[in-house]
Amino acid sequence: MTALAPSRTASQDYMTFESQVCAPNYLPIPVVLERGEGVWLYDKEGRKYLDMMSAYSAVSHGHCHPELVKELRDQAQTLCITSRAFYSSALAPFLQKICDMSGLEMVLPMNTGAEAVETAVKAARRWGYEIKGIPDNQAEIIVAHNNFHGRTTTVISFSSEEAYKHHFGPLTTGFKEVPFGDIDALEKAITARTCAFLVEPMQGEAGILIPPVGWLKKVRELCDRHNVLLILDEVQTGLGRTGKLFAFQHEGILPDGLILGKALGGGILPVSAFVSTREILNLFKPGSHGSTFAGNPLSAKVGLKALEILERDNYVQRSAELGNYLQNELKKLQSPLITTVRGSGLWVAVEIDPQKAPARLVCEALMAHGVLSKETHDTVVRLAPPLIIEKKQLDFAVQALKEALQDVESQI
Ligand SMILES: *Cc1c(COP(=O)(O)O)cnc(C)c1O
């Protein structure tokens, strides 16, 4: 041996390695993570970071929650994947729990958020033809401007973000867009061929946008009046993130369809669901829809345990109380870079003045102070920690942000 093989231990080398073998469809914050525990993440050099991103809200339970890891390990040694060619004793208890918590009646399990959205689109269209009586192939689904529902070809077909669609056509037709939070525009867009309004009750990837109070309630009334299904994508807002179990509870309504994902897998597995009424879900007949891995015993056990822990440990209340605290502390920051602070529960956007600095720069400075987050578009720093976070850890995050903002100010 003459020369040492190139070391892959240093973070810098690893980032180069990953960029050579992994498609560049993300622009990661330059940190190489190796281990997680609760609200903390550790990089290859053993540096410790507070996770204020929680994998786009998938890690509400914190990293490697010991009870979830135990459930995973126990079930992994018992039965993992059966496909739905057979019944499994793990599935029904999980789905029953989702029904009990949401107030809806039946569930179609899937794996990723985008797949559950696809499922909702299929359900809404079938309902449109078979119950509402829309002529075949003419059903329309209304969506909101700046929506985010995932990345499959049909789902990007109704995105307003050009970067999501560029050179991925031809796209799926049958979607119509209205401004988010605008009840009059929605009413004007509804026709006899409208089968559903599909919307996030609060928009996540658009930058944590909160609609006017009362809007969702009016949407519910409008949908009832015109016999249109209200389908809420709560992949990100659901399961406590906004300070209620589901964001629709802020307005005391119940949707006809509810899409869940992200935190449903306890930060361990991809688990998603389309939750709805018997009338709607019974429109799926054997052979009409499916997924090899959906509803597998391993996911069902971890998902059920994740929901039980969320209830037992009062994640919803924590999110509401600590979210208010975080927002108040952030509003005290006197930084010329911040234009607004908004959010709901532990789901907060710090809007950075684009004239002064890109949000990306703030996130990179934040990393240097031991806190991880990611910009949304060019202007928003998103703060969405695991719901198990404690007050003193939020104080640490706010202090780090304060220092990061000062660093950025001194650079510009
Ligand atoms: C993340 C997200 C999705 C897509 O989920 P994936 O698991 O990434 O496919 C869908 N809808 C909303 C609102 C989301 O935030």
SS3 for the chain, per residue? CCCCCCCCCCHHHHHHHHHHHCCCCCCCCCCCEEEEEECEEEECCCCEEEECCHHHHCCCCCECCHHHHHHHHHHHCCCCCCCCCCCCCCHHHHHHHHHHHHCCCEEEEECCHHHHHHHHHHHHHHHHHHHHCCCCCCCEEEEECCCCCCCCHHHHHCCCCHHHHCCCCCCCCCEEEECCCCHHHHHHHCCCCEEEEEECCCECCCCCECCCCCHHHHHHHHHHHCCCEEEEECCCCCCCCCCCCCHHHHHCCCCCEEEECHHHHCCCCCCEEEEECHHHHCCCCCCCCCCCCCCCHHHHHHHHHHHHHHHHCCHHHHHHHHHHHHHHHHHHCCCCCEEEEEECCCCEEEEECCCCCCHHHHHHHHHHCCEECCEECCCEEEECCCCCCCHHHHHHHHHHHHHHHHHHHHHC
Q: Which residues are catalytic?
A: 148, 233, 262
Q: How confident is the model at residue 412 (pLDDT cuts 50, 70, 90)?
A: confident
Q: Whose CA is nearest to atom 5 of ligand 1?
A: 113
**Residue 2 pLDDT:** 45
Mean pLDDT of 93-106: 98
Residue 115 Cα to ligand 1 midpoint, Å, equals 9
Instruction: List pLDDT tens digits, range 109-127.
Output: 999 999 999 999 999 999 9
Confidence check: pLDDT of 41 > 60:
yes
Residue 47 Cα to ligand 1 midpoint, Å, equals 30
**Residue 9 pLDDT:** 58
Q: Is this model's pTM higher than 0.95 or not?
A: yes
Confidence check: pLDDT of 77 > 90:
yes
Mutation test residue for ligand 1: of 200, 262, 344, 382, the one with most atoms within 8 Å of CB: 262
Residue 149 Cα to ligand 1 midpoint, Å, equals 5
